Amino acid sequence: MNFLMKTFERRPKDCYIDLLPDEMLLKIFKKLSVRSLCNILLVNKHWRLVGEDPALWKRFPLAIGSQNVKYLPCILKFSRFSHLEELLLMSFDPYDSEDNDIDTAAIVQSSINRLEIRFVDMRANMRNVSMLDTLTCLTIHCCPLTQDQANEMFNKFEEGIHLKQLNIINPLINGTEENIAGDGLSKVSPGAFGRGLSRICSVKLHEVCLTVAQSNSLLTYIDNGSALKSLDIYDSNNPKISESSSELLASSFNKLESLTMYNACLGESRTLNFLQAMAEGTNLKHLNFRSNSLRGIPPTIIARAFQPLISLNIEDTDISPAQSEAFFQSLKENRGKQLTFLSIGHNDLSSVPPEIFAGALKNITKVNINATGITPDQAEALFTVILVNSSLKELQISTNDFSSVNTSLMARAINNLERAFMFYTGLTEQQVEEILQLGLKETNLLHLDLRHNLKKNSPNKLTKYIKSYVDEILL
């Protein structure tokens, strides 16, 4: 007992972490989430003083709801927010304008350069759009605006302000009870529309009711050389981009660096012209062509067009067996190329020879082949190359049947990845057990999704798997 008492007395009374210099504490605090950072402010006065450093808070977006927006000027004056860069203003009802007037002057006078406005009635609460002069990124999501506000914004864009990124999603202009979306951006003059957007590096337009004249104006400015390098365009109801000049569309799109066109309904002729121009030479590095039919495009054109890309999404594009084999053969032969992301799910790939299938995918970092009818031979060929020499880190193979795939091979391959998504894959109890048992011993996995493979009372839902090396397991 005396020995224990003496040992206790010799213990240092000071807490070693209190001896750390402030610079070291700052480095530690910079690793924390916003919730953890809020908690450390409550530890003691010294930690609160260090934790209030604006450099710690500038990396987090500040979200302010409609009930607190009247306090915006006061909030932005807090010392911790003196270097704040990103602000989200949001409401749950875009037509609720009571006591929600937004002080845009406070935004202009702050350090904020990225602003998102979501479900806010800008007609009543944000009439002044002068804050555009200070922003580098602006997102307007499902906000009622007047036509004058829309015109004023595009006039600002024409002036060449600092804005580098613009996202406009479902702008509610002149909406009615029968047609809530109203006119969208369709009443903005085509000249102002094209000139304004051509001065911005990255543009996202979803459900904005573009006209053919606006589309052609924008494409013309891109074709003649503009600052615009990334374009994401989507209109679910009668997309007018599909009626634009075919030659202009092919030429201008290939002068971009990133293009997203989801379900654009281009038709076979425009799609062929675009991909032929792409095969002959393109600036594109990132292409999302999801839900646009590639049926009828010569396999050789598909194989050549996609070679220069870094990322490619051709999910649900109705590719034929000949097209898929030509594309995978091209990927296999050009294994030194730079493609790092491929999403080709919801196409039938079952006819691609296993060796070509595996050889094409092994050098791509992230792959999505969900719902592609993968055969057991294809799966085993892919799992084999993953174990030998592969760059593959993330694999989405859900909605395929792997019940007859070699259990040991699959378990070792899956644990060699960092992220694996395998829901609805018909896995047996034995297969799931072996994958998880390896996760208990040694694995590279950070995320494993095995949902919808097990019965409700499956013994594999044991708490022992909480001790797995896998960070997150979904069963």
| 3-state SS record for 13-39 | CCCHHHHCCHHHHHHHHCCCCHHHHHH
Report how far apart, in Å, the C-alpha atoms of 86 and of each of 32, 134, 183, 341 are: 18, 12, 29, 28
Residue pair 241/215 in contact by the 8 Å Cβ criterion: yes
Mean pLDDT of 321-341: 88
pLDDT surpassing 60 at residue 241:
yes
Contacts of 368 (CB under 8 A, 6+ apart): 315, 342, 343, 344, 345, 396
**pLDDT > 80? residue 30:** yes
**What average pLDDT does the structure give for the chain?**
87
In angstroms, the CA 257 to CA 234 distance is 18
For residue 182, give the DSSP letter: B
Question: CA–CA separation, 382 vs 375, rounded Å?
Answer: 11
Provide CB contacts within 8 A for 334, sequence distance 6+.
307
Whether the per-residue pLDDT at 430 is higher than 60: the answer is: yes
Residue range 50-102, pLDDT digits in tens = 888 898 898 899 999 878 888 888 988 888 898 999 999 988 666 665 556 78
Q: What b/e sequence results for 155-188 when a residue is b if at least 16 CB atoms lie within 10 Å of its CB, and e otherwise?
A: bbbbeebebbbbbbbbbbbbbeeeeebbbbbbbb
**Which candidate, 101, 135, 106, 147, places its Cα nearest to that of 120?**
101
Residue 181 has pLDDT above 90, yes or no: no
For residue 57, report the phi and psi dihedrals to the nearest 5 degrees.
Answer: -100, -15
Least confident range of 27-31, 121-125, 134-138, 213-217? 121-125
Contacts of 70 (CB under 8 A, 6+ apart): 99, 100, 101
Whole-angstrom CA distances from 352 to 300, 336, 342 are 16, 21, 16
Residue-level pLDDT at 407:
95
- Per-residue tokens: 402: 């792997």
What pLDDT, on the 0 to 100 scale, is given for residue 4? 43
